[in-house]
Chains A and B, each alone.
Chain A
Amino acid sequence: EPEVTQTPSHQVTQMGQEVILRCVPISNHLYFYWYRQILGQKVEFLVSFYNNEISEKSEIFDDQFSVERPDGSNFTLKIRSTKLEDSAMYFCASSDRGLGNQPQHFGDGTRLSIL
């Protein structure tokens, strides 16, 4: 069964540094998402992406965050200047249709630790 893959599985970064989290969505999917889960808290939506542009973002997704689909397979989340509170598990998801009537398939996540 096709999978969403995320790299790295664990990223440790100094506060203030830039970090890029990478995702390879399922190949025929068109809608891409990033979520995060701070330890002990619920999974929260960050951003959705379709047709090479952001279609929706949450209030968490401020100017420090950006997303990109640099080629036909990768989908990246960049945090420009990391803060301690960015420490979390970040999940990428993809779906072949938006509007929620097809399920989102999640990767195994990247655990981001900010020191």
Chain B
Amino acid sequence: AQSVTQPDIHITVSEGASLELRCNYSYGATPYLFWYVQSPGQGLQLLLKYFSGDTLVQGIKGFEAEFKRSQSSFNLRKPSVHWSDAAEYFCAVVRNYGGSQGNLIFGKGTKLSVKP
């Protein structure tokens, strides 16, 4: 069965430092991959998506992610974190099988805290 693993439950970085959040997926073919962010009390906001083509994708708020097939990974990065980036980040993959209408399988999320 398809799955998404986010190995880090909680990460703390200093403001201005770089950030990398890890995501691994299990799926034989090329997956459709997403990163969503959830601020406290808010819904899920799409940061970026990967469907095909260039393996480095740019998203909103200065985030980028790199798809690496050989590692089954889709890690999220940001060169310089801002205090407003503190939130929970979810990696997701589209469930692909015959007849699927594209429902998402989410990882457990990584909570990001930002130190001043």
Contact residues of B: prevailing secondary structure: loop
Report which of A33, A42, A55, A56 forms a contact with B108, defined as CB distance below 8 A: A42
* Bound-complex Cα distance A88 to B99 (A): 28
By a CB distance below 8 angstroms, the chain B residues around A100 are 32, 94-96, 100, 102, 104
Give Cα A91–Cα B46 distance, bound, in whole angstroms.
14
Interface residues of B, count at CB 8 A? 27
Q: Is A35 an interface residue (CB 8 A)?
A: yes
Partner among A41, A48, A105, A108 whose Cβ is within 8 Å of the Cβ of B102? A48
Number of interface residues of A (CB under 8 A): 30
Comparing B16-24, B37-45, B70-78, the segment that makes contact with chain A is B37-45
- Residues of A near B45 (CB, < 8 A) are 106
Q: Tell whether, in the assembled complex, residue A35 and residue B104 are in contact, meaning their CB atoms are under 8 Å apart.
A: yes
- Report the Cα distance A106→B47, complex, angstroms: 12
Cβ < 8 Å to A, chain B residues 49-108: 49, 51, 90, 92, 94-96, 99-108
Q: Which residues of B contact A (CB under 8 A)?
A: 32, 34, 36, 41-46, 49, 51, 90, 92, 94-96, 99-109
